Structure 1
Amino acid sequence: MAIVSCPSCNKSISDKHKQCPHCDNNVAQLDDEQRQQLAREKRIQKQQMFMNHSFFALIIFLGGFFSLYFLHPEPETPTWYACAAAIGIGCIWYLINRVILVMLKKKK
């Protein structure tokens, strides 16, 4: 008896199980092609999730930048700190997501 991961929910199950106890997916009837298709779909969903996160991070970055550019807040005020924080957080979050996306594409 070995522990394998369910192709649908990716949780650990016994290879003797006919059906996943977590997601109720029938794992006994899946062939290799179906398992590969499920893995491909999960990878695409993960890539889309990180792509959405990177777009959201870019919106935060640009919101902070344009607020700083157009509103001209006085230095050392809460508005100025909020704009600077949005720029910093958005930039770092965007870069991290892009690195993760590149790593996911190389795993193919």
Structure 2
Amino acid sequence: MAIVQCPGCSKSISNKNTVCPNCQMQLGEMTAEQIERLASRKRISKQQKFINHSFLALILFLGGFFYMYWRQPEPGSLQMMAAQGAIATGCVWYLVNRVILIYLKKKK
């Protein structure tokens, strides 16, 4: 008996189980190829989600930067703080998503 990950919920289960006790996925009627394909689709879907988040973070960062560049708000004003907050939030969000994507690609 070996411990494997369920392709539906990614929780550890026995390879002898025909039904996942966590997500109730029917594993008994699936071939090994189907299980691998389902796990691959789930991994790609997760990577795509983080790529989309990276684009949103980049848009937030660039929006704050371009607002500061073109509008040139007064130092210390609410607009300046909002633009700096957007830049900082976008930058951190982007970097975190990129680290997660690298981790997901190495986990493969």
Q: Which moved more, 1:50-59 or 1:6-15?
A: 6-15
> Aligned to 1:48, what secondary structure does the other structure show?
helix
Q: Give the 3 Å change call, closer, same or farther, for CA 36–16 of structure 1 in structure 2.
A: closer
Q: How does 1:86-97 map to 2 (within 5 A)?
A: 86-97=86-97
- Aligned Cα RMSD in Å? 2.0
Q: Distance in 1 between matches of 2:30 and 2:98?
A: 33
Q: How does 1:75-94 map to 2 (within 5 A)?
A: 75-94=75-94
* Deviation at residue 10 of structure 1 after TM alignment: 2.4
Q: Distance in 1 between matches of 2:80 and 2:15?
A: 57
**Once the two structures are aligned, what percentage of the paired residues are identical?**
56
- The equivalent of 1:103 in structure 2 is 103
Q: How does 1:44-83 map to 2 (within 5 A)?
A: 44-83=44-83
Amino acid at match of 2:47: Q
- The equivalent of 2:30 in structure 1 is 30
* Deviation at residue 16 of structure 1 after TM alignment: 5.8
* Deviation at residue 17 of structure 1 after TM alignment: 4.8
Amino acid at match of 1:29: E
Q: Distance in 2 between matches of 1:24 and 1:82?
A: 46
Q: Deviations over 1:37-86 (max 9, x none)?
A: 11111110010000000000001001100111111100001110000000
Q: Deviations over 1:2-30 (max 9, x none)?
A: 87543212245566653345544211112
TM-score (structure 1 length as normaliser) = 0.84
* Deviation at residue 95 of structure 1 after TM alignment: 0.9
